[in-house]
Amino acid sequence: MRILSGIQPTGEIHLGNYLGALKQWISLQNENECIFFVADLHSLTVPYNPKTLQKSIIEKVISYIAAGLDPEKVTIFVQSHIKEHTELAWLLNTICPLSELERMTQYKDKAKKFKSNINAGLLDYPVLMASDILLYKSEGVPVGRDQTQHVELARTLARKFNQKFGKTFVEPKDILPKQGAKIMSLTDPKKKMSKTDSSQSYISLFEDPESIKKKIMSATTDSGKGIKFDPIKKPGISNLLTIYSLLSDKPIKEVEKAFKGEGYAALKKSLADLVIEFLEPFRKKQKEMAQREVYIKEILTRGKDKAQRIAEITLQEVKEKMGLI
Ligand code: ADP
Ligand code: TRP
């Protein structure tokens, strides 16, 4: 299967990104043809700092490799290096109903969060994402739950294009983890963990042990006691149990049993130790990769060449079908 996914460069990669998306990328890389990129064009739709963007892009590539992607097996590139993404996005815009974009949950959330910057790119974001996916005729798109609505739009646009202009695109499917598709914020367990929220609310993949401990020990938990998985009544504890279960590879039931009769503090302390230990190799590899800028640039040049070849062929085909050539 051809697999494709991306993460935006601004902000730090956190446990939610890892458990929802990256972990799946890593397990898919052995059996599939995988293409992963840094979605820098998407990150321009919310306020960002142009002076630090380049650095963030390189840091994301380092993060991908530190988390376990093998650059010898997968293609890694930067979205803005391939101009066909924006060109196809324009063409897809012409078949995308405005109403589809206006009902997107992420658009509505971000428009509320960034009231003074509701730009056209924010609304058009899912069309660029559809273009990312369709340009490579991708079959599987490993993402967290918050992105499934966008993948659905990519599927709708593929179908619509094929009907209108003749079979061209593959209809992509999202690939969600069974557990961990939506890791919640540590400070507000009713919201998803997100890079664009305060740093207290997430744990970066490369966070130092002291800080991990502090954040987990002060994570918002629920009133009452008892360590029980109940996302409605106990969203805080349920989120910690999910993370515990995923990092220890034990079913939630077993974790609940192990902490039967214990207080919240015992679970938090044990989870902090687990997270620190789990992330130790990530921190090491990240430090090592941060010294190898030339190698990282080489990976990106190779990735760009490979992606470019596929992108050019698809775009040519699309333009012909649309009557442009
Ligand atoms: P963020 O929302 O933190 O800025 P991105 O939008 O760049 O992160 O998301 C990158 C990938 O991580 C996407 O596949 C997304 O679905 C996934 N993801 C983001 N947040 C979470 C979360 N809290 N739980 C699970 N997956 C997530
Ligand atoms: N919108 C995705 C996110 O914020 C990132 C992304 C951009 C993406 N293009 C994509 C993910 C194509 C999968 C496929 O998480």
Confidence grade of residue 240 (pLDDT, cut at 50, 70, 90):
very high
205 CA from centroid of ligand 2 (Å) = 19
pLDDT computed for residue 155 by the predictor: 98
**67 and 28 housed in the same domain:** yes
Shared-domain flag, residues 50 and 129: yes
pLDDT of residue 74: 98
| Other Cβ atoms within 10 Å of 268 Cβ, number | 20
190 within domain boundaries = no
Residues with CB under 6 A from ligand 2: 4-8, 39, 42, 129, 132-133, 141, 143, 147, 150
> Is 194 among the domain residues?
no
Give the number of residues written for the chain.
325
Q: What is the mean pLDDT of the chain?
A: 96
Residue 268 inside a domain? The answer is yes
**Domain check: are 162 and 33 in the same one?**
yes
C-alpha–C-alpha distance, residues 32 and 291, integer Å: 29
Distance, CA 26 to ligand 1 centroid (Å)?
16
**196 has a pLDDT exceeding 90:** no
Q: Using CA atoms, how far apart are residues 184 and 191, in angstroms rounded to an integer?
A: 6
Instruction: State whether 177 and 221 are in the same domain.
Output: no
Answer yes or no: is 195 within a domain: no
CA of 162 to the centre of ligand 2 (A): 23
The whole domain housing 232 covers: 206-287
Same domain, 143 and 27: yes
d(Cα 226, Cα 295) in Å, to the nearest integer? Answer: 50
- Residues 133-169 have pLDDT tens digits of 999 999 999 999 999 999 999 999 999 999 999 999 9
Do residues 252 and 241 make contact, with C-beta atoms less than 8 angstroms apart?
Answer: yes
Whether 55 is covered by a domain: the verdict is yes
**Site to substitute for ligand 1 among 3, 14, 17, 56, most atoms within 8 A of C-beta:** 17
| 65 and 172 both lie in a single domain | yes
Percent with pLDDT over 90 in the chain: 96
| Position 232 confidence tier, pLDDT thresholds 50, 70, 90 | very high
Which pLDDT belongs to residue 225? 86
Look at residue 128 and tell me if it is in a domain: yes
Q: How far is the CA of 84 from the centre of ligand 2 (A)?
A: 16
pLDDT one-digit tens code per residue, 266-325: 999 999 999 999 999 999 999 999 999 999 999 999 999 999 999 999 999 999 999 998
- Whole-number pLDDT of residue 224: 83
Find the distance separating the first CA and the last CA of the chain, reported in whole Å.
30
Same domain membership, residue 98 and residue 49: yes
Question: CATH code at 282?
Answer: 1.10.240.10
Q: Please report the atom of ligand 2 found closest to the CA of residue 138.
A: 14
Residue 199 lies in a domain: no
269 contact partners, CB below 8 Å, separation of at least 6: 217
Instruction: Tell me the pLDDT tens digit for each residue of 162-182.
Output: 999 999 999 999 999 999 999
Q: How many helices (H) and strands (E) in the chain? A: 14, 5
Same domain, 265 and 313: no
Are 147 and 255 in the same domain? no
User: Which residues does 205 contact at the CB level (< 8 Å), separation at least 6?
Assistant: 12, 13, 14, 15, 17, 18, 63, 66, 67, 279, 282, 286
Q: What confidence category does residue 223 fall into, taking pLDDT thresholds of 50, 70 and 90?
A: confident
Cα-flanking dihedrals φ and ψ of residue 76, to 5°?
A: -125, 130
The number of distinct structural domains making up the chain is 2
- Measure the CA–CA gap between 90 and 87, rounded to whole angstroms: 5
Ligand nearest to the CA of 60: 1
Looking at the fold, whether 154 and 211 belong to one and the same domain comes out as no
Mean pLDDT of 50-71: 97
Q: Which residues line ligand 1 (CB under 6 A)?
A: 7-8, 11, 16-17, 19-21, 143-144, 146-147, 181-183, 192-196
Active site residues: 110, 192, 195
